[in-house]
Structure 1
Amino acid sequence: MVEQKYNSGMPVIQDPRDFDKSSGGLLERVVFNNRILVVVACVLATLVLGFFATRLQVNASFEKMIPSSSPYIKNYLAYKNQLPGLGNSIRVVVENKTGDIYDPEYLQALQKVNDTLYLIPGVDRSWMKSLWMPIVRWKEVTEEGIDGGAVMPADYDGSPATIDALRRNIARAGIVGSLVGNDGKSSMIVAPLLDMNPQTGAALDYGDFSHQLEDKIRALQSDKIGIHIVGFSKLVGDLIDGLYAVMLFFGVSVVIAGVFVYLYTRCLRSTLLLLGVAVAGVVWLLGLMQLLGYELDPYSILVPFLIFAIGISHGTQKMNGILQDIGRGTHKYVAARYTFRRLFLTGLTALLTNIVGFAVLVIIDIPVIRDLALTTSIGVAVLIFTKLLLIPVALSYLGVSKKAARIAIEKDRAGAENRGFLGHLWHGLDHFTERRWATLVITLSLLVTAAGTWVMLGLKVGDLDPGAPELRAESRYNRDNAFISANYGLSSDQFVVIVKTAEDSCRLYQSLQAMDLLAFKLRQTAGVQTTSSLAETTRFITSAMAEGSGKWLTISRDQAITNSSVDAAMVSSPGITNQQCSVTPLIAYLADHKADTLTRVLAVAERFAKEHNTPADAEHPEEFLLAAGNAGIEAATNIEVEKGIVTMYLAVYGATALLCLLTFRSWRAAIVALIPLLMTTIICKALMVWLGIGLKVATLPVIAVGVGVGVDYALYLLSVQLAVQERGGSLLVAYRRSLDFTGRVVALVGLTMAAGVVTWVWSPIKFQADMGILLTFMFLWNMLGALVLIPSLSHFLLNPKTTDGAHEAGLLAGAVPVPHEPSRAKENSKALSAH
């Protein structure tokens, strides 16, 4: 029975038999006339994808963290096999807590650690270095020439004589500060890693490798023996272990979201439904990731929460519409169809904007970012089914409690005088449609944005702290790293320049002289501890062959002498060049891998390469190629992040602007939607400067999140506001109706998501804590920007001079408007643009 009509044009229907099921668009009819099929299909999909989600692997790949198309990384990959140990490696330091390394009991423990590590699958055993490996050699000048051998005596038996021989060999090898601690109380094992597990042929599982290091290596420590482990694989392993804490925080976020939604709706069953469908969306995503061959890595842990957050945002809008319709007396089935009819296109546009916004991250040439972009886009696409279709259909069966519906409609009709301080504050938002307040808000926004722009210019690309900024300073990994930095003169941060010559030409005087000159320039650069190269070793051996005379500590112009020195260097120092003497690494040991340090070193190396590289057809072709070593790879990654961030902004905002134009058919409305997002991005980057957070792989996706979530708020608010204005309402009335219908949910979602992620501040993983701070700010600022800036900007851009005064009172007190017809939308857009 039709009881009454309200001025949205939608009748209040209490009996679904009075509803014309053939009304609405084609998609609406297909979905709601086959509701049971939709529910069954979604439940089956959840069960099937849930099964595959349980099989999703958690891992990370060294290769996925680097920009493979970068010319510097291409150089590294091209000569990777000829540069052993200058990429992905693990470093294990064995400490004698009660004495020094010249203790038979300690050396026995070191040998056990060495042999255990040697047998762990994934270690490149050919280039493993330690006191117990024959590849570590000593050399000295005697009256009979150059003598040398393995540092560990071949006849070592723990006797005082062999201990003394070891002491002499270590001194002659010059490895104090690199493989032996400066205080002589610890020694290091350096183990390059393979990309594949040789036993299985699969990619190396860093989580499993890290657990083996803990179970087999760290388990060997005791009251007398200390173990310290650093390296990419160990860092990733610790991050993977920290994912259990991340999952706990995700659960806390779900609970907080549930509490906030329930306090708003006062309906338990609809709240549980909303949360259940939001979690189902995450399950769908994880299942699809497993089917498509993706893995969940520590850097993409943001994705599940992001999908949950966007799902809550859209789902709450749907539930709010149904609450209000049922509160006015409409049957739950009809209310669900009304809400679907009103908000499907708006929600679809918002989700498509999210998809495009995240998809453009693929332009960042770092595989882990591309994977994040694609998986996030897939997850948002999933929400089209779970949020836009399943929630309205499920609520058409479950409905909401009568108490919740009554509270919702009472809130909608109550005046500001009955709402206390918060009510007055909420209704005070209407003032921002007035010129005085709008001018004040825009002026303050300009000042804040200007200040944020000035501060954000100090944002660094890369790490700002020593060690692993992804983890807390007090984490075991960073304590281990601090121990190594304090006790070893040569850090693990290596910047490697690859010197490429013609075959057997690395021994030529001019090549060695150029290497020596670059090494000298690098040593003069702040942040470089020392360098190591074939040229330096050749100078030492040349002097050694002249009975150690300081006059011969040079690179001889006599090619015969230099040839002998290079031959001796290749024997005494394996890996100092390749067998063809055509690829030679020049290693700069850095004090740290901070952004400023890498920038300085990179600039020196680039300038030198530009000045000294010769063409391939030259008589003696010579190239100085950047870059290898963990610091060199990180420098290349920073370049890609810095280069891609501008392109990403242009793509994200360009795509968002285009979709806003298609949605509103008004360039003015698109500007109103975009300005708060731009402001959020600028202030967020300023906040990163204040908090000491660098722009890198781990933090880059947060920027895109701010645009993706923020545009939802603008689309929902503006869609209602423009619809009311189209029907003759003034800006004041239109904005009030958008606040009453979608504005409350915008505020609810902003507060809910901020309360959920702020708990991340206590995460053991520092970069998750950083993301929690940034996301909390972005959720709140996007909410405030939408509620305050949209009416203020609308006053100047979306405020036609004429309105239909006959409808003012009815529109202000009436129900939520239906979306405008295309023809009316076009007319309205023309009117607004003409203004």
Structure 2
Amino acid sequence: MSTHRQNHAGLLERLIFNNRLVVIFACLLVTLFLGFHALQVKPSTSFEKMIPLEHPYIQKMLEFRDDLANLGNTVRIAVAAKDGDIFSQEYMETLRQIHDEVFYIQGVDRSALKSLWSPSVRWTEVTEEGFDGGEVIPQSYDGSAASLEQLRSNVLKSGQIGRLVANDFKSSIIDVPLLETFADPQDQSRILQLDYQRFSHDLEEKIRTKYQAENPNVEIHIVGFAKKVGDLIDGLMMVVLFFGVAFLITMVLLLLFTHCMRSTISVLVTTLIAVIWQLGLMNLVGFGIDPYSMLVPFLIFAIGISHGVQKINGIAQHSSGSDNALTAARLTFRQLFLPGMIAILADAVGFIALLIIDIGVIHELAIGASIGVAVIVFTNLILLPVAISYLGISKSAVQHSKRYAANEHPFWRLLSNVAHPMVAPISVVLALAMGIGGFWYQKQHLQIGDLDQGAPELRPDSRYNQDNNFIINHYSTSSDVLVVMVKTDAEGCSRYDTLSAVDELMWKMENTTGVQSAVSMVSVSKQVIKGMNEGSLKWEALSRNEIILNNSIARAEGLYNTDCSLAPVLVFLEDHKAATLKRVTAEVEAFAAQNNRDGLQFLLASGNAGIEAATNEVIATSELTILTLVYICVAVMCLITFRSIAATICIVLPLILTSILGNALMAFLGIGMKVATLPVIALGVGIGVDYGIYIYSRLESFLRAGLPLQEAYYETLKSTGKAVLFTGLCLAIGVATWMFSAIKFQADMGLMLTFMFIVNMIGALLLLPGLARFLIRPEKLAGKAGSSLFAH
């Protein structure tokens, strides 16, 4: 470069471009190193990562974990007979084999595994000589007609109809509690983590596929958190396909935009390097890829493409007036490095704000996204211009850029009218109306948590949701269990006043909409007292006699702990929809507020429904805080950058409008605000702030050159606007492919991201100049060196 140009180059620019080979070689070494680690990244999740460990419900659940059955991470396997019922030798033998097969699958809590073949599943009856009982399947069972008839009798007396045995006697359940960590069978000193994908595959291969093939009369249904996550991880493999499709679409559109294969390949390669670095760094810090953070690599790809397009667009423009590719690359670096850096910092700070949500999977997502945007500084802001300084832009691309700069553009001229004094008020009023309407709609209809039965993350016709529907339709106790923990003094859970309060809670729960049934030691006590009095229904009540009460709860195994200081109440729900959980927990909390006293406390909550309720509360309290923090961070970065409140408002208000409309769209489509969807709104701000910063920085430079606002905006559209329009459309088309995914929440994320990309782009192009008409005074900027960080 000329001495004049060198004198205007900053220290960072001279350091980079005077050592270009060192920069390329260093990036190559880092890419090889992190690429190796990126290949080691595996799907990884855990039950505890999905729950808010600091929430009071979860704290209580963990405090009493040793006193409670595994009511959180459990899989239920329903073995159904297509013809006939369960009382056949063939069916019972198949059930026994499946029980034994499940027993040896890694991760199963074998001591708590329960089915009709478990010795702990017993029957009880009252006889002339007192109580009689035994195992539902006795040691003498041999599959004969007589033993099958005895089995039928035992099942009827076991109290398991609707629980382990279907109401129509055509299927039975195997309850499979899981361990998050367990000793390696080959090396007891080594602790293994539950591999959800492998566990899910074991269930499919060793249980469903194997036994349905061996016995055509058997149909197997499997539900539970681990199975759902396993199915989601399998769906995660499809992301690679969608990423490939998005890559090809982006390549074609980039080629049409740049008219240069070298530029296109450069942008794609440097952006892929950013994704590789992000995955490699994630592996180095000990993170894997789970179903809920699988959008992060694509998000990094999208942000990288956004910045890469701006760089190529700038280099093409400068190439027409520069001596060589190096000069064009340096001029573009000088012009765009700072706005790009500020946009990336705004992205990173916004992503870090997600850390306030007390859920491990969102923590990993926030850290992964922050790492990803940080590496874009090196790959797309530094490496890309350096690479182009060697490769250059094709002559046809330079000629196209010259013609583009010299010609009049009717489309941009028409679009620049949004900055006209007569048009700007209309766009601002329309945006205000849309914002008010969207805010009202989301307040009325947006819900926290799941809005459908089963697993809303999967399609309604998925195998998992079909299995879940089968269990709901054939059993009285669903897989959605809310556990209320009744805490007393030692030996206090069997007192009459305690059991009476528990009985009142159960009555209240069973008369609450959304509750199927409730079970506790009171249920057993009443049955036993009735049995001790010749089965008379008049005696199905709690006794005030302490000795009778103590005798009656002796058979309530598993419904109180060893020192009788904790007695869980199991509330079986019809579903785990947000409204159901909110209604039921509110009833329990109201009851607890009236009945808690010294020596007796009703505590929420355990069970999968209790965990869902806690998660929903965290999301509800964090949603507004997250978005507020994100926008405060973005606003502060813009304020530092442009040193103008007006400029900050012009950039931030379109982003806020997009978030409001995004929430309204979720409400309209029936998508709840939950772990899978909350980050999408916050992460979507990342692309939008890039658009706004690039557009305003160019607009401000033309205003400082003395152009009136509308003309300045026309020139901005000619230079940066086309890159913003291209980026928004390109990324939206790429991510729209996700809507065809078999995983519903991935399709929902694809739809939401498509919406965010498009609306953020429209907001930056149409609303920003309209706001500038009211807030910016061009005459104050004209001719000034300026207070903006972008002024040189």
TM-score for both structures, normalised by structure 2:
0.97
Mapped pair 1:563 → 2:541: no
Question: 1:426 maps to which residue?
Answer: 412
Contact 2:197 2:230 in 1 (8 A): yes
Equivalent residues, number: 783
Question: 1:290 maps to which residue?
Answer: 283
Contact 2:38 2:280 in 1 (8 A): yes
Shift of 1:34: 0.5
Tell me, which stretches of 5 or more residues in structure 1 are unaligned? 1-15, 417-423, 808-819, 830-835
Cα 1:827–1:105 change in 2 (3 A) is closer
2:750 alignment partner, one of 772, 777, 787: 772
How far apart, in 2, do the equivalents of 1:255 and 1:203 lie?
37
Letter in 1 for 2:459: R
Letter in 1 for 2:413: H
Question: 1:579 maps to which residue?
Answer: 562
Shift of 1:43: 1.0
Contact 1:57 1:295 in 2 (8 A): yes
How far apart, in 2, do the equivalents of 1:249 and 1:745 lie?
24
How far apart, in 1, do the equivalents of 2:790 and 2:7 lie?
28
Question: 1:235 maps to which residue?
Answer: 228
After superposition, residues 574-653 of structure 1 pair within 5 angstroms as: 574-614=557-597, 618=598, 621-653=599-631
Cα 1:828–1:355 change in 2 (3 A) is closer
Shift of 1:342: 0.4
- 1:760-781: per-residue Cα shift (whole Å, max 9, x none)? 1100110010011111111000
Mapped pair 1:437 → 2:420: no
Mapped pair 1:745 → 2:723: yes
How far apart, in 2, do the equivalents of 1:608 and 1:44 lie?
63
Mapped pair 1:371 → 2:370: no
Contact 1:494 1:631 in 2 (8 A): yes
Question: 1:668 maps to which residue?
Answer: 646
1:221 alignment partner, one of 212, 224, 231: 212
Letter in 2 for 1:162: S
Percentage identity across paired residues of the two chains: 49
Contact 1:23 1:29 in 2 (8 A): no
Cα 1:828–1:328 change in 2 (3 A) is closer
Contact 1:599 1:635 in 2 (8 A): yes
Letter in 2 for 1:652: V
Question: 2:182 maps to which residue?
Answer: 197
Shift of 1:289: 0.7
| RMSD across aligned positions (CA) | 1.6
SS for the counterpart of 1:361 is helix
Question: 2:187 maps to which residue?
Answer: none
After superposition, residues 260-271 of structure 1 pair within 5 angstroms as: 260-271=253-264
Mapped pair 1:24 → 2:24: no
- 1:146-167: per-residue Cα shift (whole Å, max 9, x none)? 1111111221110111101110
Question: 2:530 maps to which residue?
Answer: 543
- 1:392-414: per-residue Cα shift (whole Å, max 9, x none)? 10110111100011112211221
Question: 1:521 maps to which residue?
Answer: 508
Question: 2:769 maps to which residue?
Answer: 791
Letter in 2 for 1:71: P
Contact 2:319 2:398 in 1 (8 A): yes
How far apart, in 2, do the equivalents of 1:105 and 1:182 lie?
20
How far apart, in 2, do the equivalents of 1:22 and 1:117 lie?
74
Contact 2:524 2:555 in 1 (8 A): no
Letter in 1 for 2:142: D
After superposition, residues 456-471 of structure 1 pair within 5 angstroms as: 456-457=442-443, 458-471=445-458
Cα 1:295–1:370 change in 2 (3 A) is same
How far apart, in 2, do the equivalents of 1:701 and 1:89 lie?
27
SS for the counterpart of 2:558 is coil
After superposition, residues 386-405 of structure 1 pair within 5 angstroms as: 386-405=379-398
Question: 2:47 maps to which residue?
Answer: 62
Letter in 2 for 1:272: I
Contact 2:322 2:328 in 1 (8 A): no
After superposition, residues 32-111 of structure 1 pair within 5 angstroms as: 32-111=17-96
How far apart, in 2, do the equivalents of 1:403 and 1:461 lie?
53
Cα 1:725–1:150 change in 2 (3 A) is same
Q: Which moved more, 1:382-391 or 1:324-333?
A: 324-333
Letter in 2 for 1:755: I
Shift of 1:733: 2.5
- 1:639-668: per-residue Cα shift (whole Å, max 9, x none)? 000001111111111111111100110001
Letter in 1 for 2:708: S
SS for the counterpart of 1:299 is coil
Mapped pair 1:685 → 2:663: yes
Contact 1:21 1:33 in 2 (8 A): no
Contact 2:418 2:769 in 1 (8 A): yes
Mapped pair 1:333 → 2:333: no
1:342 alignment partner, one of 335, 339, 352: 335
Shift of 1:826: 8.5
Q: Which moved more, 1:78-87 or 1:594-603?
A: 78-87
How far apart, in 1, do the equivalents of 2:458 and 2:17 lie?
50
How far apart, in 1, do the equivalents of 2:124 and 2:404 lie?
86
Shift of 1:206: 0.6
After superposition, residues 499-510 of structure 1 pair within 5 angstroms as: 499-510=486-497
Mapped pair 1:140 → 2:125: yes
Shift of 1:547: 2.0
Letter in 2 for 1:165: Q
Contact 2:405 2:718 in 1 (8 A): yes
Tell me, which stretches of 5 or more residues in structure 2 are unaligned? 185-189
Q: Which moved more, 1:457-466 or 1:545-554?
A: 545-554
1:113 alignment partner, one of 98, 110, 129: 98
Mapped pair 1:186 → 2:171: yes
Instruction: State the 4+ residue runs in structure 1 displaced beyond 4 angstroms.
Output: 16-23, 801-804, 826-829
Shift of 1:734: 2.0
Shift of 1:828: 9.4
- 1:338-378: per-residue Cα shift (whole Å, max 9, x none)? 01100111000000000000000000111111111111101
SS for the counterpart of 1:198 is strand
Shift of 1:486: 1.4
Mapped pair 1:257 → 2:235: no
Shift of 1:97: 1.2
Letter in 2 for 1:263: L
How far apart, in 2, do the equivalents of 1:435 and 1:162 lie?
91
How far apart, in 1, do the equivalents of 2:741 and 2:4 lie?
52
- 1:426-469: per-residue Cα shift (whole Å, max 9, x none)? 32111111121001111111111111111101100000111101
Shift of 1:613: 1.4
Shift of 1:211: 1.2
Letter in 1 for 2:568: P
TM-score for both structures, normalised by structure 1:
0.92
Contact 1:533 1:576 in 2 (8 A): yes
SS for the counterpart of 2:616 is helix
SS for the counterpart of 1:503 is coil
Shift of 1:41: 0.7
How far apart, in 2, do the equivalents of 1:17 and 1:795 lie?
39
How far apart, in 1, do the equivalents of 2:271 and 2:82 lie?
53
Q: Which moved more, 1:173-182 or 1:782-791?
A: 173-182
How far apart, in 2, do the equivalents of 1:527 and 1:768 lie?
28
How far apart, in 1, do the equivalents of 2:791 and 2:265 lie?
39
Mapped pair 1:208 → 2:198: yes
How far apart, in 2, do the equivalents of 1:265 and 1:214 lie?
49
Mapped pair 1:407 → 2:400: yes
How far apart, in 1, do the equivalents of 2:366 and 2:315 lie?
33
How far apart, in 2, do the equivalents of 1:179 and 1:826 lie?
69
